[in-house]
């Protein structure tokens, strides 16, 4: 007979409930991955500024009448992107760019519902450990914040003379998406992994932690490449315009602006960080495989493969001058690289840390007995 995870059971039920919550969170992770892909495709097809309204409820429905299409197109014709970049766009062209942004926003609403409704239901049935509840509430609020950040990002593209969104908002939006994704994945793994499994050697844990940091910094740097459309220039590899360090690398003043506003420097930094990440990950893989077991070993393999694929995709995206398909794949695989890094790190968590993790104390059983 299948186990009803919502009923208080004296034994085994705690694990079953934990598994049910973990599976729900993994489904949310899958939905966020799709969202990351949709976000990349929206940006790379120039669709991101096609909806000029923030209408969380009304915007759920697409335009249903010709008059509504005309109204939305008239709004789009007011922004600089239309006048400076797309003055020849007609209503049919507008309909084409509209759909991706619409689906991106709709999928965001669906993720919100897929998080909120099971959360309320599982909470009401007592299936969510008391100590897990604040974390889930914070994750839900961060999801709402991500919607708000998305709107500020879009609105940053409506300023006079602006034909695209601000790279700063784009990086905040991308980073928050990956923080949310990573936190939900980590929580699901913490619920799934039995506390009795051994952790890995501290030196390997530190090396994998360094890989996680490098992956994160490379992703943020990639956000600036995307935000500045820096992939549309210097389309050679490994040299940039015949040089290792491109001309004009440090031209902007104050110097920090080169990190976020200088196209040559931003692209060079991303290449350099990606190379440092790949070398560190492959070194850690070669050194750590004999030392890691179970999830950690699988995570290390996945990390090595994902980084190699991502590096190749990055070079291909650059050489082909950022076609939407390759650019979108590069964005999705970035999230997979992060997933693999978190998997490996989680697999190396020491037993002591897991034993003291509130998600691994026997909260369900104590509640069940009370
Ligand atoms: C560990 C390896 C790498 C990671 C984690 C990574 C991650 C990212 C991320 C998150 C972005 C922003 C999102 C997007 O794709 O639009 C990005 C953009 C980009 N990356 Fe990478 N990247 C890596 C390696 C590379 C390499 C080796 C190259 C080329 C030499 C490269 C070239 C690019 C380009 C051209 C863009 C802009 C694409 C666009 O405008 O959509 N990346 N990268």
Residue-wise pLDDT tens digits, 294-340: 899 999 999 999 999 999 999 999 999 999 999 999 999 999 999 99
In a domain, 117, yes or no: yes
What's the CA-to-centroid distance between 231 and ligand 1, angstroms? 9
* 278 belongs to a structural domain: yes
- Both 128 and 228 in one domain: the answer is no
Q: Is residue 369 part of a domain?
A: no
Ligand 1 in reach of 97 Cβ (< 6 A): no
pLDDT tens digits for 227-249?
A: 999 999 999 999 999 999 999 99
Helix, strand, coil percentages, rounded to 5, for the chain: 70, 0, 30
231 belongs to a structural domain: yes
Residue 105: CB partners within 8 Å, gap ≥ 6? 51, 59, 150
Q: How far is CA 356 from the centre of its chain?
A: 28
Domain count, the chain: 2
Q: Given this model, what pLDDT does residue 291 score?
A: 92
Residue 105 Cβ inside 6 Å of ligand 1? The answer reads no
One domain for residues 300 and 315: yes
CA of 250 to the centre of ligand 1 (A): 21
Contact partners, residue 305, CB within 8 Å, separation at least 6 = 340
Q: Indicate whether residue 296 lines ligand 1 (CB < 6 A).
A: no
Q: pLDDT by residue (tens digit) across 97-120?
A: 899 999 999 999 999 999 999 999
270 is in an annotated binding site: yes
Nearest atom of ligand 1 to the alpha carbon of 178: 10
Question: Any idea how long the chain is?
Answer: 370
On whether both 149 and 220 belong to a single domain, the answer is: no
How far is residue 208 from each of residues 59, 107, 145, 304, measured CA to CA in Å? 43, 33, 30, 11
Q: Would 5 be classed as within a structural domain?
A: no
The response to whether residue 297 sits with its C-beta less than 6 Å from ligand 1 reads no
Residue 19 and residue 96: Cα distance in Å, rounded?
42
Model confidence at 218: pLDDT above 90: yes
- 3-class SS at 255? coil
Same domain membership, residue 123 and residue 27? yes
- Any ligand 1 atom below 6 A from CB of 211: no
Residue at a domain's end among 162, 192, 222:
192
Alpha-carbon distance of 11 to 150, in angstroms, equals: 45
> What's residue 355's pLDDT?
52
* 121 and 135 share one domain: yes
Of 192, 218, 240, which residue is a domain's last? 192
- Report in angstroms the alpha-carbon separations of 229 from 24, 89, 266, 322, 359: 36, 21, 10, 9, 42
Model pLDDT for residues 254-307, shown as the tens digit of each residue: 999 999 999 999 999 999 999 999 999 999 999 999 999 889 999 999 999 999
3 assigned to some structural domain: no
For ligand 1, the distance from its centroid to the CA atom of residue 262, given in whole angstroms, is 16
Percent of the chain whose pLDDT exceeds 90: 72
**Same domain for 356 and 236:** yes
Query: Which ipTM was obtained for this model?
Result: 0.96
Asked, for residue 370, whether it belongs to a domain, the answer is no
Same domain membership, residue 175 and residue 61: yes
Domain residue limits at 309:
196-362
Number of Cβ within 10 Å of residue 155's Cβ equals 15
pLDDT tier at 174 (50, 70, 90 boundaries)?
A: very high
pLDDT for the residue numbered 85: 85
Residues 6+ apart with CB under 8 A from 193: 295, 346, 347, 349, 354
The reply to whether 235 and 128 lie within a common domain is: no
**318 CB near ligand 1 (under 6 Å):** yes
Tell whether 143 is covered by a domain: yes
| CA 192/CA 360 separation, integer angstroms | 10
Q: What is the position in ligand 1's atom list of the atom closest to the CA of 229?
A: 40
* Whether 204 and 59 share a structural domain: no
Cα separation values, 252 from 64, 232, 246, Å: 48, 20, 14
- The CA-CA-CA angle for residues 230, 243, 332, to 5°, reads 35
| CB 225 less than 6 A from any atom of ligand 1 | yes
Percent of residues, the chain, with pLDDT higher than 70: 90
Query: Residues 128, 179: one domain?
Result: yes
Atom 40 (ligand 1): residue with closest C-alpha?
A: 226
**Is residue 9 predicted with pLDDT exceeding 80?**
no
Q: Clarify whether residues 283 and 162 are in a common domain.
A: no
Residue 351 has which token pair? 């037993």
The answer to whether the CB of 173 is under 6 A from ligand 1 is no
Residues 111 and 38: their CA atoms lie apart, in Å, by 13
pLDDT at 368: 35
Q: With beta carbons less than 8 A apart as the criterion, state whether 219 and 174 touch.
A: yes
Choosing from 141, 165, 192, the residue where a domain stops is 192
Q: In terms of domains, do 244 and 163 share one? A: no
User: Is 330 labelled as part of a ligand binding site?
Assistant: yes
Based on its alpha-carbon atoms, the radius of gyration of the chain, rounded to whole angstroms, reads: 23
């Amino acid at each position: 007979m299948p186990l009803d995870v919502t009923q208080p059971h004296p034994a085994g039920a705690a694990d079953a409930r934990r598994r049910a919550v973990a599976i729900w969170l993994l489904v949310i992770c899958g939905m966020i991955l799709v969202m990351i892909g949709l976000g990349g495709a929206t940006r790379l097809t120039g669709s991101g500024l096609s909806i000029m309204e923030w209408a969380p409820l009304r915007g759920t429905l697409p335009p249903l009448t010709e008059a509504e299409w005309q109204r939305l197109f008239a709004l789009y014709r007011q922004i600089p992107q239309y006048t400076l970049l797309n003055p020849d766009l007609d209503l049919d062209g507008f309909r084409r760019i509209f759909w991706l942004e619409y689906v991106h926003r709709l999928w965001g609403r669906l993720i919100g519902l897929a998080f909120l409704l099971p959360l309320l239901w599982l909470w009401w049935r007592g299936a969510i450990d008391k100590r897990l509840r604040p974390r889930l509430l914070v994750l839900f609020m961060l999801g709402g914040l991500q919607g708000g950040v998305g709107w500020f990002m879009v609105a940053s593209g409506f300023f006079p003379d602006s034909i695209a969104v601000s790279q700063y908002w784009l990086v905040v939006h991308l980073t928050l998406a990956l923080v949310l994704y990573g936190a939900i994945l980590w929580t699901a793994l913490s619920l799934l992994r039995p506390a009795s499994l051994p952790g890995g050697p501290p030196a390997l844990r530190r090396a994998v932690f360094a890989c996680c940091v490098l992956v994160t910094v490379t992703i943020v740097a990639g956000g600036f490449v995307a935000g500045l459309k820096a992939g549309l220039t210097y389309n050679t590899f490994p040299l940039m315009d015949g040089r290792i360090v491109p001309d004009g690398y440090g031209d902007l003043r104050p110097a920090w602006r080169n990190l976020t506003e200088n196209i040559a420097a931003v692209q060079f930094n991303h290449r350099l960080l990606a190379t440092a990440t790949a070398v560190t990950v492959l070194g850690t893989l070669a050194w750590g495989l004999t030392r890691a077991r179970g999830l950690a070993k699988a995570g290390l393999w996945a990390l090595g493969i994902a980084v190699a694929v991502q590096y190749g995709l990055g070079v291909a995206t650059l050489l082909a001058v950022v076609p939407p398909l390759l650019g979108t794949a590069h964005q999705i695989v970035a999230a997979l690289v992060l997933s693999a890094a978190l998997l490996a790190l989680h697999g190396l968590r020491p037993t002591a840390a897991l034993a003291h993790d509130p998600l691994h104390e026997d909260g369900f059983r104590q509640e069940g007995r009370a």
